[in-house]
Amino acid sequence: MIENAIELNVNGEKGLTKSPLFVDVALPLPIRSTFTYCLNQLHPFSRRGVRLLVPFRKKQLIGIALRFHNETPEFETKPVFEIIDQEPFVDEAFLSFLEEAANYYLHPIGEVLKAAIPAPFWDPRRAKGQIRTRDDSLWIERSELPLPPRLGSRQRDVIALLESQGALPLKEVLALTAASAQTIRQLERRGLIRKKAPPSAPLRATEQALELSLEQRQVLLSIASVIEQSKPSTFLLHGVTGSGKTEVYLQVIQKAIALGKSAIVLVPEIALTSQLLRRFRSRFGDEVAVLHSGMRESERFREWERIRRGQAKIALGARSAVFAPVQKLGIIVIDEEHDPSYKQEEGFRYHARDMGILRAIRSGGVALLGSATPSLESFYHAKQGKYVLLSLEKRVTPHPLPQVELIDLRRAPMAPTEALLSLPLCQAIEQTIASKEQVLLFINRRGFAPVLWCPSCRRPLECPFCSVCLTEHRRLGLLRCHYCDHATPIDDRCPYCDFPRVERLGAGTERVETALAHLFPQARIARLDRDTATLSSIDKILEGMHRGEIDILIGTQMVTKGHDLPNLTLVGVLCAEHSLFFPDFRAAERTFQLLTQVAGRAGRGLKPGRVIFQSHEPELSVIQQALKHQYEAFAKEELERRRELLYPPYGRLVAIRVDAPSQEEAIRCASQLAAAARSTPPVQHGKVQVLGPAPCPIERIRNRYRHQVLLKGSERRALRECARAVLQLMEGGLGKVRATLDVDPVNML
Ligand code: ADP
Ligand code: ZN
């Protein structure tokens, strides 16, 4: 009894001296409330964070215990079937972090837990195997014996798993299938599977830390001393491209590990970071576990378990790795913290950078945000003293930041193509290839022509289901919609007036590639964009660049991110102002980031780099600032504009978007939601502004009409009160209308 009381105190339920009768459980469902079940004598005493098997609408579900208590509910409760874990499945620091995340984004806790914890842990049929075996050294594999015609369904599951994945630890097979130890024994007796020694030779660290530059050493010292004191804090490392940020991350993490702590490293897109992963692996060997959404379930499960058990101390991955179950978190590194892909845009809409900061603070760790072009939010917080600002102003590589040249597309002589290639840029390309160096060209549009236009009826060809133009993909012979994937064969005839010859306007990566192949028939040309990219093909192209098998690489924003290619000496931006006119208040920031990042790819090796921006409006201040590497000047001007309009970081936003099969329904619903917002005290007292309803910039996608309402204000509490009122209406059911609420929205289209 005394023990129980102590445990309950750990649980935060002071005053409870009897064993608890009830438990509040979060279920992985899109329902805001938790569910109360009753306990009985048969249930061992247990703590918050364990998984429970409970009945729910004629089904069995796994949920997570959030609170044990003795408050008899007014409704009748069903008993818990079983308590699955003996120890909490997730620790208190992690669980309370997830609760806080749910609360911040006004999202159901069950769905937050479901986003954070991999699927196999939620499967009642598999849950048993997850605790039964703890032995990691026992592996099994499929034998050569052909399968008999008749096999039980569980046996078949095991065979299918082994055949698709090769040898696996027994523990994992039990966890990933509904098989029992007995199923495995039967299969073994029949000779269909056999035991196997675990793969030998754990991955060892092979690489030594580099000797740091003075600047790097100072940065390392400031962060390391804070980790040592377990003083939660956030650092913003503003380091120009090539200043050696990654080396600082590696050595800071080394310090954290030496202190017995663990680390999380977030990167924007795992596909583009195989180079970074290799550097981490060669420094830390098996201590690194990788997590990302493109992994096979069994791999993800294995890595998750390695982290949860403390076998891997470093979790590296894309945004969802912010939920890696590390214990004793020392540091979270958020590399390229400005990158918009840190925002999850579906379901549980969270920002991994912001959640990373929250998590670090709640676990007494350090958040280290790194970027050559910090987001204005982070830069502002650093200037305000909320974060510690550290900078690396010099490149560690032999050459300083490259000079950028500007070409005015209104005046420059053009190559005889329609692919936005000026003659001076072509000459620079020619020289670069002649001296056996590499070229990177950036244009943020894929496909051949982004717009087809009928000169007779003067209409652009649009997607029948979305209010956007179709893009010509000539290689595929298709006109394609980039929003709904609708595709039709290319036809030169206008679908509206039957005029026989539509015109192509503008250029995408494919058109540039075709033009270059004509202009430089000798050159080896590759293209990197979402059309060519699968995980392995990206790797292949980047490897090809490293090995010098590619002379010219053309790509979309994928090529701007983090690559370190020593022989790359010329970077060309075909249309520098392209992303500036998007209907998004962050368009200038995004443009500055893209230009600076892509320019930063040049001249990182032994030879100096050269960068050329082409633009139709070269006098624009964003372009001028990027040209001269003037981040601070850019930030100052842009922050001033944001302040006037009360946009982030000065104000906060909540976006409410509705979509419906008809324009009228969408407008009606958006108006109701806006009215609900307007009737709340924060709006009436002028603390929150309600903007809209208004059509979204892309008014129609997949034949659904889209409208939005924006809530804007500087006080978080006032905004939440207003947002809650809207949510309440949304949850009452909206018929055919769908509505979502997005706290701190990133995508404004
Ligand atoms: P960033 O991430 O800031 O763009 P990186 O960390 O990729 O820069 O460093 C650029 C290059 O410089 C890499 O090839 C890296 O190995 C090298 N480098 C980093 N720090 C040092 C150092 N102290 N001494 C020598 N080379 C270094
Ligand atoms: Zn479409």
Whether the CB-CB separation of 573 and 598 falls below 8 Å is answered with: yes
| Both tokens assigned to 616 | 């139709």
Looking at residue 670, its pLDDT comes to: 95
Whether the CB-CB separation of 471 and 482 falls below 8 Å is answered with: yes
Residue type, 585: F
| Both tokens assigned to 315 | 């979790």
396 lines ligand 1 (CB under 6 A): yes
Measuring from atom 20 of ligand 1, which residue has the nearest CA?
244
Nearest to 399 by CA among 164, 629, 634, 609: 609
Whether the CB-CB separation of 721 and 706 falls below 8 Å is answered with: no
* C-alpha distances out from residue 610 to 106, 404, 413, 645, 714, Å: 48, 7, 20, 37, 43
| Both tokens assigned to 276 | 């970074």
Using CB atoms within 10 Å of the CB of residue 242, give its burial: 0 to 12 exposed, 13 to 18 middle, 19+ buried: buried
For the CA of 213, the nearest atom of ligand 1: 23
Residues β-bridged to residue 554: 441, 527
Testing ligand 1's pocket by substitution, the residue of 564, 565, 568, 631 carrying the most ligand atoms inside 8 A of its CB is: 564
Whether the CB-CB separation of 192 and 199 falls below 8 Å is answered with: no
Pairing type for strands 503-505 and 525-528 reads unpaired
Q: Is 34 helix (H, G, I), strand (E, B) or coil?
A: coil
- Cα angle 77-78-82, degrees, rounded to a multiple of 5: 135
243 lines ligand 1 (CB under 6 A): yes
Gap from CA of 279 to ligand 1 centroid (Å): 11
597 lines ligand 1 (CB under 6 A): no
| Both tokens assigned to 538 | 């990206």
596 lines ligand 1 (CB under 6 A): no
Cα–Cα distance measured from residue 144 to residue 194, given in angstroms and rounded to the nearest whole number:
10
How many other C-beta atoms can be found within 10 angstroms of the C-beta atom of residue 344? 18
| Both tokens assigned to 233 | 């804090």
In order, the DSSP letters of 487-538 are EEE--SS-TTT--S--EEES--HHHHHHHHHHH-TTS-EEEESTTT--HHHH
213 lines ligand 1 (CB under 6 A): yes
Measuring from atom 15 of ligand 1, which residue has the nearest CA?
244
How many other C-beta atoms can be found within 10 angstroms of the C-beta atom of residue 77? 15
Q: Please name the residues in contact with 479: beta carbons below 8 A apart, sequence gap of 6 or more.
A: 452, 461, 470, 471, 472, 473, 487, 488, 489, 490, 491
Nearest to 552 by CA among 469, 464, 441: 441
Looking at residue 437, its pLDDT comes to: 96
| Both tokens assigned to 724 | 């809650």
Residue spans of alpha helices (H) in 105-152: 109-116, 124-132
| Both tokens assigned to 625 | 């600032």
Residue 343 is given by DSSP the state: B
How many other C-beta atoms can be found within 10 angstroms of the C-beta atom of residue 558? 22
Q: Is 371 helix (H, G, I), strand (E, B) or coil?
A: strand
Whether the CB-CB separation of 238 and 372 falls below 8 Å is answered with: yes
Looking at residue 734, its pLDDT comes to: 79
Looking at residue 4, its pLDDT comes to: 38
Q: Is the peptide bond before 566 cis (omega within 30 degrees of 0)?
A: no
Cα–Cα distance measured from residue 453 to residue 200, given in angstroms and rounded to the nearest whole number:
61
Whether the CB-CB separation of 139 and 107 falls below 8 Å is answered with: no
Residue with tokens 């809650």: 724
Cα–Cα distance measured from residue 7 to residue 743, given in angstroms and rounded to the nearest whole number:
36
377 lines ligand 1 (CB under 6 A): no
Residue with tokens 């055949």: 163
Gap from CA of 242 to ligand 1 centroid (Å): 6
Cα–Cα distance measured from residue 5 to residue 10, given in angstroms and rounded to the nearest whole number:
9
Looking at residue 722, its pLDDT comes to: 96
| Both tokens assigned to 409 | 């597309």
Residue 56 phi/psi, 5-degree rounding, is -150, 115
Q: Nearest bound ligand to CA 208?
A: 1
Nearest to 84 by CA among 55, 106, 64: 64
In SS3 terms, 215-273 reads as HHHHHHHHHHHHHHCCCCEEEEEEECCCCCHHHHHHHHHHHHHHCCCEEEEECCCHHHC
Helix, strand and coil content of the chain, in percent to the nearest 5, comes to: 35, 25, 40
273 lines ligand 1 (CB under 6 A): no
Gap from CA of 486 to ligand 2 centroid (Å): 5
Measuring from atom 14 of ligand 1, which residue has the nearest CA?
564
Cα–Cα distance measured from residue 447 to residue 194, given in angstroms and rounded to the nearest whole number:
50
Maximum Cα–Cα distance for the chain, whole Å? 88
Nearest to 157 by CA among 130, 180, 137: 180
Looking at residue 400, its pLDDT comes to: 85
What is the tens place of the pLDDT at every residue in 435-494?
A: 999 999 999 999 999 999 999 999 999 999 999 999 999 989 999 999 998 999 998 999
Residues of the chain with pLDDT below 50 are 1-15
How many other C-beta atoms can be found within 10 angstroms of the C-beta atom of residue 477? 11
Gap from CA of 624 to ligand 2 centroid (Å): 36
Cα–Cα distance measured from residue 530 to residue 556, given in angstroms and rounded to the nearest whole number:
8
What angle separates helix 631-645 from helix 587-599, to the nearest 10 degrees?
170
How many other C-beta atoms can be found within 10 angstroms of the C-beta atom of residue 44? 10
Gap from CA of 700 to ligand 2 centroid (Å): 8
What is the tens place of the pLDDT at every residue in 391-401?
A: 999 998 888 88
Residue type, 410: R
Using CB atoms within 10 Å of the CB of residue 213, give its burial: 0 to 12 exposed, 13 to 18 middle, 19+ buried: middle
Length of the chain: 749
- Cα angle 722-749-333, degrees, rounded to a multiple of 5: 80
What angle separates helix 245-258 from helix 274-284, to the nearest 10 degrees?
40
End-to-end CA distance of the chain, in Å?
58
In SS3 terms, 49-100 reads as CCEEEEEECCEEEEEEEEEEECCCCCCCCCECCEECCCCCCCCHHHHHHHHH
